[in-house]
Structure 1
Amino acid sequence: MRIKKRLSALLIALIGLMSGYAPSAAQEELSHVAFGIHFGPNTDVSADWVMQLGVDWVKVYTIGSAYAFRGKRILYRFDMGYPENWEQFRQAIAEKARAIAAAPIDAVEIHNEPNLSHEWGGRPPNAWQYVQMLRVAYTTIKRIKPSLIVVSGGLAPTITTPNRMAVDDLEYAREMFENGAADYFDAFGYHPYGYNLPPEADPFGAQPLVFRRTERIRALMESYGIYKQIWLTEFGWLRDPREDGFQCSNYDPAFTGFAWMAVSGKQQADYLVRAFEYARQNWPWAGPMFVWNMNWQQMDWLAPCDHMRWFGLLRHNGEPTPAYYALQRMRRYPISYLPRLWLVSDAMTAEISLFCPQRLKLGSFTVHNIGYPASLELNVLPVNIGQLFVEVEPPRPRLGQPVTVYVNALDLKSPGKYPVYINVRTIINGRAVSQSVQGYVIAWHREGSC
């Protein structure tokens, strides 16, 4: 038998439409991108500022803060240090996970910017160590509350410094994936700050640290077969302090390295709104986006020129910035909190001689969820019509598990191009969803060795 397989990759994008179901115009306006904001603890800023902003999500830093935002979804930042005693670490994680599970918290971000040394108490960042912590946190949280969404700690966009106290986010992510991190998060966290350029700036331009660097992170994920959502758990632009009468410069220790990032308040407002729209239109794999921040200007213990203050949506006197009003007026779309199927297949095409028809491996594909994190039960059903008998293994795969397609061509009698269809079915929000992948067997009247 002489079989020729094409090795080119075929990506089949599936929209997740219901079988026999056409979406209405209103449903087509659903957005996968939700609007979130950071709200810091220990200030006298009222939660009303968040509620009036019209956000979908709030990222909080204490479990108690989760109770202040009734009707909003909550992401909790779970900070941790590298353990000296792993058993004590597991016990501490379990205790904290039980407290999180009892609170109105929807998702947990495991640590923050683990590719920077200052998030490790001055230790050099180590992706292998972080993945071990992520693994313990993920498995413990899922044992206590399976429905809680676990987001990996958002990586900081940066370059590797000579002393490796900061590690390039792409390099760090690669090391995470090499060490099996994809099994231990429901969504990948990332912090795509825009620095001083607009959100549409080319990530392959002279300045690579831009909002769209997220696309490079996505390409890296897909190269490892990872198709889970990316959550932008922190992003924003730094407003020029001079607009409020503060002369902050690189000579100020609290502002060193940040002066060049400053944009006007009008630009900050414009860039934030455009970032949401860009992600909605171009990133079907993006999830909630959390603007950094609401109220760091009201943290009296910070130096007046501390850079964290100048990302805030409130001024030092408590008045809203132009960015606050722009986000408040930003067009809203109903949010889809549903999974979305995505099939990735090889060419699924083989050639066979009619002189020696046999059972052959046609190819393989995987089923992924690029939408909101959820557990799905999948059924893979080959369509057996005509002279080909199609089999799949396994018939009930997990998300991301390869499905191999076999074709029995013993009954083929004449040359031609024979289509092969495989249906993938699941239930989403109580509705049956069916998508398909297609391949071909090309039969020839060709003599010669098999």
Structure 2
Amino acid sequence: MLISLVLIAPVRLAQAQDAPGEFEIIRTALVEKFRVRMQQVAEWSWEQVDFTDGIESCIDEGERKGVNAPWGRRYLVTAFNGVTYEGRISYDQTIVVACDSPEHERLMAAAAQPPAPAEAPAGDEAPAAAPLPPPVAGAAASAGFALGGHVNNMNGQTFDAMRRSGMTWLKKQYIFNVGDSPHNVAGMIETAHANGFRILLGIVGKQEQMGDYPAYINAYAEFVGGVAALGADAIEVWNEPNIDREWPADMINGATYTQLLAAAYNAIKSANPGTLVISGAPAPTGYFGAVGCGAGGCNDDVFMRQMANAGAARYMDCIGLHYNEGIIPPSRTSGDPRGEYPTYYFRSMLQRGYGLFGGKQVCFTELGYLSGEGYDTPIPGNFGWAANTTVEQHAAWLAEAATLAARSGRVRLMIIWNVDFRDFTPTDPLGGYAMIRPDNGCPACDALAVVMGR
């Protein structure tokens, strides 16, 4: 039994130059045992303890050396693979123990196995394609929960609102034209980093340039590799490729998309192993009914099953998801007046993506609630389902979603859609999703600050 005497608050994003010497000793022991990257870690904490069962009680008996210490310190270190490791050190620093980690062993075993094929419903068959390349090795920048927001402006007002909310990430989208230089996004990366944020770049191409798909894949991969080399912290490979608004209608299939994802992943990891690769989040929809796919696209669950069958899990660090049509609290699992379709509910939407890719964490690259309160323009008819959502609910539900996501252990990143968009037109209520409201107030900032510990 371990008896805690003193608990020190956790330190987040510890770097080598910040860490006290004792933490360096623990980190070195963990790296040597598990061969895991820990130059930077997501979080670490320590407590002073009495080792009443022995300092070596956390390792297999066959590995014990018979040493002991009456008391010392116990360190918990969360790496960017999502695993929390334990290290122990005696009071005089002469005994160091890197504890066994069943969680690490499960992670390594899962990574060594190809994803189990999912049962494919009608419409899941993909056109014949060349075999995918083997994935390039790279550090999967995956760890405990982080919060961010999709921004329109990279300015002081927006950054202040994000900091107030506990956000550490921002998202920008870039429309790629064949022939573009990666340096077109260098300013975004530099501005984000200069203001203390990590940046997720969603890179979306143009349908009319995709006619020669193999050549297009090469051009796109070369571009995102260049973006990674510039220091992008994360790249989302496309946006909503399951619908014809974003992808050529005659090419919509998760396996076809996976060809692009695989090439992009390898290019990104070759250029910068630490860049997080997120699969393009599909549009949540059940429009295509029981068949699953039809003219104009595929239901998101069918599209993701097609991806899983094609081996997409090997070419992502995180599965991209969207959730943007909720009208009840995210903790609710029934009772939506529109019905029980899974995309209406936060929990079922999370499971819809998480359950298909062998335990890969989810990155919500767009999660938002729509409220027209404060705008003179009525909510457009095709968004009428949100007509009764208040700003108070908008704020409370964002905070609750962040809490549920963080506690689930299944979500690496939650990007709120959106922080500061102002447009609210008769056809597109972008501003209704915004945290910063028309009067420049930000109730969501205050609600999120509470749950994020600000």
Report the TM range for the smaller structure's normalisation: 0.5 to 0.7
Mapping of residues 371-386 of structure 1, within 5 Å: none
**Pairwise CA distance, 1:41:** 5.3
The residue number in structure 1 matching 2:93 is: none
Mapping of residues 344-363 of structure 1, within 5 Å: none
Match of 1:190 among 316, 321, 332: 321
Deviation by residue 1:223-249 (Cα, 9 ceiling, x = unmatched): xxx11111111111101x2x3142414
Cα–Cα, structure 1 residues 305 and 80, in superposed 2: closer, same or farther, change >3 Å?
closer
- Matches of 1:32 and 1:146, distance apart in 2: 19
Match of 1:307 among 413, 429, 433: 429
- Matches of 1:329 and 1:53, distance apart in 2: 8
Is 1:331–2:452 an aligned residue pair? Answer: yes
Is 1:108–2:219 an aligned residue pair? Answer: no
Cα–Cα, structure 1 residues 218 and 91, in superposed 2: closer, same or farther, change >3 Å?
closer
Mapping of residues 185-224 of structure 1, within 5 Å: 185-202=316-333, 206-208=339-341, 209-218=344-353, 220-221=355-356
- Matches of 2:438 and 2:427, distance apart in 1: 11
Is 1:157–2:157 an aligned residue pair? Answer: no
Tell me the SS of whatever aligns to 2:232.
coil
The residue number in structure 1 matching 2:85 is: 17
**Pairwise CA distance, 1:135:** 1.5
- Matches of 1:235 and 1:308, distance apart in 2: 13
Mapping of residues 193-272 of structure 1, within 5 Å: 193-202=324-333, 206-208=339-341, 209-218=344-353, 220-221=355-356, 226-239=358-371, 241=372, 243-249=373-379, 255-262=380-387, 263-272=389-398
Give the number of equivalent residue pairs.
298
Mapping of residues 162-173 of structure 1, within 5 Å: 163-173=294-304
**Pairwise CA distance, 1:95:** 4.0
Deviation by residue 1:191-244 (Cα, 9 ceiling, x = unmatched): 12352111012179842221112343256326xxx11111111111101x2x31
Is 1:35–2:147 an aligned residue pair? Answer: yes
Q: Is the 8 A contact 1:191 1:233 kept in 2?
A: yes
**Pairwise CA distance, 1:313:** 1.1
Q: Is the 8 A contact 1:314 1:320 kept in 2?
A: yes
The residue number in structure 1 matching 2:191 is: 68
The residue number in structure 2 matching 1:79 is: 204
**Seq. identity, %:** 27
**Pairwise CA distance, 1:33:** 1.4
Q: Is the 8 A contact 1:74 1:104 kept in 2?
A: no
Cα–Cα, structure 1 residues 274 and 116, in superposed 2: closer, same or farther, change >3 Å?
same
**Structure 1: runs of 5+ lacking an equivalent:** 1-13, 23-30, 250-254, 334-450
Is 1:119–2:252 an aligned residue pair? Answer: no
The structure with the greater share of residues assigned to strand is 1
Cα–Cα, structure 1 residues 219 and 35, in superposed 2: closer, same or farther, change >3 Å?
closer
The residue number in structure 2 matching 1:174 is: 305
- Matches of 1:50 and 1:308, distance apart in 2: 18
Superposition TM-score, scaled by structure 1 size: 0.59
Cα–Cα, structure 1 residues 73 and 121, in superposed 2: closer, same or farther, change >3 Å?
same
Deviation by residue 1:275-311 (Cα, 9 ceiling, x = unmatched): 1111222x212111111001221x5xx6266222210
Aligned-residue RMSD, C-alpha:
3.1
Cα–Cα, structure 1 residues 194 and 94, in superposed 2: closer, same or farther, change >3 Å?
closer
The residue number in structure 1 matching 2:135 is: none
Q: Is the 8 A contact 2:402 2:451 kept in 1?
A: no
Deviation by residue 1:39-75 (Cα, 9 ceiling, x = unmatched): 1259996544434443111111242322222321111
The residue number in structure 2 matching 1:350 is: none
1:61 is aligned with what amino acid? Q
- Matches of 1:35 and 1:218, distance apart in 2: 19
Match of 2:166 among 30, 34, 54: 54
Cα–Cα, structure 1 residues 52 and 127, in superposed 2: closer, same or farther, change >3 Å?
same
By relative contact order (CA 8 Å, sep 6+), the higher-ranking structure is 1
- Matches of 2:340 and 2:430, distance apart in 1: 22
Cα–Cα, structure 1 residues 207 and 148, in superposed 2: closer, same or farther, change >3 Å?
same
- Matches of 2:197 and 2:156, distance apart in 1: 20
Is 1:142–2:269 an aligned residue pair? Answer: yes
Tell me the SS of whatever aligns to 2:86.
coil
**Pairwise CA distance, 1:110:** 0.3
**Pairwise CA distance, 1:16:** 4.3
Q: Is the 8 A contact 1:294 1:314 kept in 2?
A: yes
- Matches of 1:167 and 1:256, distance apart in 2: 23
Cα–Cα, structure 1 residues 15 and 73, in superposed 2: closer, same or farther, change >3 Å?
closer
Cα–Cα, structure 1 residues 204 and 99, in superposed 2: closer, same or farther, change >3 Å?
farther
**Pairwise CA distance, 1:105:** 1.5
- Matches of 1:61 and 1:125, distance apart in 2: 21
- Matches of 1:217 and 1:98, distance apart in 2: 29
